[in-house]
Structure 1
């Protein structure tokens, strides 16, 4: 492909050099540049790509896309000045890979909680409906049954376009993806033509990055503002910011709700630890999911499938056959009747939702023992709030380590301890070692008691000082339950 063709839909502020030259590939990492690559100099959160223009040229880059053309230019190199390199990267990648998102229907799910469940369940549902489907999620990137472990909730713009090209080559008609607030703000989704977007909810999270809750909302809303008129925008009417998301969208507006009037409605008729009976859009179905929050997620899946013109009867049948996503309210029973629930809940609202689901089912003759931590190098303000939610709805709470990353685990736990109200101090233990914390919960639990282990869910590692050590909550629970896989 020639550079001239590559940038024909890009607003260029200035061009120095010829555009009649080869573009062998696109890179934003100077270490990956090859001969005739187009190097895009991005201004990142920690690193400015403009500082790597010379190394990129040294590796063979023939074209430099940047926000500021260097005063000292290298002869024979083409420089293209743009207003925003982050936005341009996705558009260039889309053009280079022949616009893969336009060749299938791409639906993005965004929100604080529920993104992974909804995107993954849509993938599973549409596979059951007989389609070739792609998935981009926190857990993995999938093209039908081929799977790659995910590195980010939403990967970089280049990776997204490469993944979508693979999906198109495999005959995928649909792609379901998680869209994080970081990805929206950093414009990693630039260049994607979305057929629809889903808003789940917005609660306290990522303030370490967005600084204010208003900034966090603004980032989420930008996704819907960018949808085209031929797309659909599905929002959760039970969230107070649900309708805010759709204020300025050009897309077709659709709402869903478990508690109020909406285009798509659902009601929980019965709740048990092995599933729920739901009235979904006027039809009764049994599902293997637990909790009102999961009823909301399933309703979003249903609303999306109907918006994608699928058969109501087939969709409801297959939803009743779906299994919960890994690490989301996964239950493990011991031989003596203890119940452990492993869940990814790592925000105050997610923890509250899981504990509420337990409260709605429990008999009150048993204890709820919650093991919970908080991640290091992340939003510190939510740490005491996590503790408050745990102490309000549990009989015993064990504060422990999550992924401390580069922080001292004891400092994180101290931040969490600040959320213990005086009347709850006698029900809280702090055990830094996560394995010991889970062991203690199992030891103090009596037959019939419920142990919630929150925060890591599907993760099979614990990140300490930049190193990921193998650690799987489910494996640890089974070990202390005496269950062999």
Structure 2
């Protein structure tokens, strides 16, 4: 319980009608969750406008309504608060209601098109191994130390987010590392949070179904850094040409990292193999269990964050070198066939190119690279031909298949991808909309020593078709098919 007037601290109020001294038991922006003594916040979402559900919320027991446009008929038993931005108000109210949890720990946000999940996961594992109680908010899962809580969005809604942070405070967490998606930043889900720092990894073609233009996508990422307080740090990858853009107008203490140019934190790739990476970081040669140049950036970012947070450099590198991730990011699937099978979450052109370039760098040249890839439905269509072109350019065989088709027909998505297949490469491409059959075909093509890449879903254990999520795990299917075909 909290007083309505206290929950509204820092919210911009345009008008107030009713009792501000009453107790509030919960905050909701979904009218279906409303109960007695609830404050209902009418948020204009991408699909639904919460203002249309104000009456329904009142019928279910809402005693306070926060909205941008007041209803024509006001109830004498309800308090109405008009604000200029309901989404931002929701974030601020949630922060107040849960007693400002982010101010009681060090919260570090990681943003960028690729690398968010790996960086956050590495930070979580590193700081746990350094002896801290640590929270994590990621695409794959939310965690308090080893306790796992399922995740449905890259960044939870503002109420869930503050509720989780409060749990982390109560569990004694000193640090929390979170992914900050462009959607969450744009939708003010992080409003009211007090960040200790923010990290920018990179930016490439993605989410234009939502942001419409690349400039809007960049602006959403930049907002995270613009809003940082002077007490926070901002760490950016300057090998991405937009890294320095993120630092413009930021009040935070600024740091940079790079594999290619002068920066506060630098690393050099000494070797890159299927067994791992050897990097020179801070004049020390260290072997890591992760693979690929993109993971060199992730490891360097993690080292930089830990250094900024005043951890000992030798301790950081010692613990970091022992971490092995199993999160669907360049995850090798153990098997007895002699075939190298890799599952990766790559679902953007840049990510797919990174993964295939990594494979190209570590292959001998005598083996086939067989890529299974699709694109999600109801998402940015412009990237579909790009994904196919990259797969063709960097693979010996390509199978275009279904990813999460959602509300679209898989065959249409594949047809969109097919437009990116060069005429000269057409013979190496097979279209097969059944993802399980596509993986089976890839396994049947492969011989000992070959490399199969199954891209697009990574850690996901479902396939979303027509609004229904069906169990589907790329790792399980790859294992099943390799054994079925090669271990008879």
TM-score by shorter chain over 0.5: yes
Q: 1:323-472 to 2 correspondence within 5 Å?
A: 323-472=324-473
Tell me what 1:256 maps to. 257
Q: Distance in 2 between matches of 1:107 and 1:168?
A: 15
Matched with 1:157 is 158
Deviation at 1:243, TM superposition (A): 0.7
Q: Match for residue 312 of structure 2?
A: 311
Q: Deviations over 1:228-285 (max 9, x none)?
A: 0010000001101111111111101110011111110111101110101110121111
TM-score, normalised to structure 1, is 0.98
Q: What's the counterpart of residue 8 of structure 2?
A: 7
2:372 and 2:5 map into 1 onto residues whose CA distance is: 57
Residue 182 of structure 1 aligns to a residue whose secondary structure is: helix
Counterpart for residue 39 of structure 1: 40
3-state secondary structure, aligned to 1:379: coil
1:221 lines up with 2:222 in the alignment = yes
DSSP-derived class of the 1:340 partner: strand
Q: Distance in 2 between matches of 1:411 and 1:470?
A: 23
Matched, 1:16 2:14: no
How far off is 1:422 after superposition? Answer: 1.2
Aligned-residue offset at 1:2: 1.3
Q: Write the distance in 2 (CA, Å) between the matches of 1:464 and 1:368.
A: 29
Q: Matched residues in 1 for 2:161 and 2:416: separation?
A: 37
- Deviations along 1:114-158, one digit per CA (max 9) or x if unpaired, are 000011111111110111111110011111111111010001000
2:254 maps to 1:265: no
Contact 2:9/2:93 (CA < 8 Å) preserved in 1?
Answer: no
| Aligned counterpart, 2:140 | 139
**Partner residue in 2 for 1:182:** 183
For 1:147 and 1:392, how far apart are their aligned partners in 2? Answer: 39
Q: How does 1:199-210 map to 2 (within 5 A)?
A: 199-210=200-211
Q: Distance in 2 between matches of 1:67 and 1:262?
A: 45
Q: State which drifts further: 50-59 or 85-94.
A: 50-59
> What is the correspondence of 1:93-104 to structure 2 with a 5 Å cutoff?
93-104=94-105
| TM superposition outliers: structure 1 runs of 4+ over 3 Å | none
2:235–2:255 Cα contact (<8 Å) kept: yes
Q: Does 1:285 align with 2:320?
A: no
Counterpart of 1:108?
109
Superposed CA RMSD in Å reads 1.1
Aligned equivalents of 1:425, 1:58: Cα separation in 2: 60
SS in 2 for 1:406: coil
Structure 1: tracts of 5 or more residues without a match: none
Contact 1:101 1:194 in 2 (8 A): yes
Describe the SS at the equivalent of 2:62.
coil
Query: Which whole-Å deviations, capped at 9, do the CAs of 1:201-230 have from their partners, x for residues lacking one?
Result: 000000100001011001110111000001
User: Residue 199 of structure 1 contacts residue 242 of structure 1 at CA under 8 Å; is this kept in 2?
Assistant: yes
Deviation at 1:325, TM superposition (A): 4.3
CA distance in 2, matches of 1:161, 1:13: 25
Deviation at 1:333, TM superposition (A): 4.7
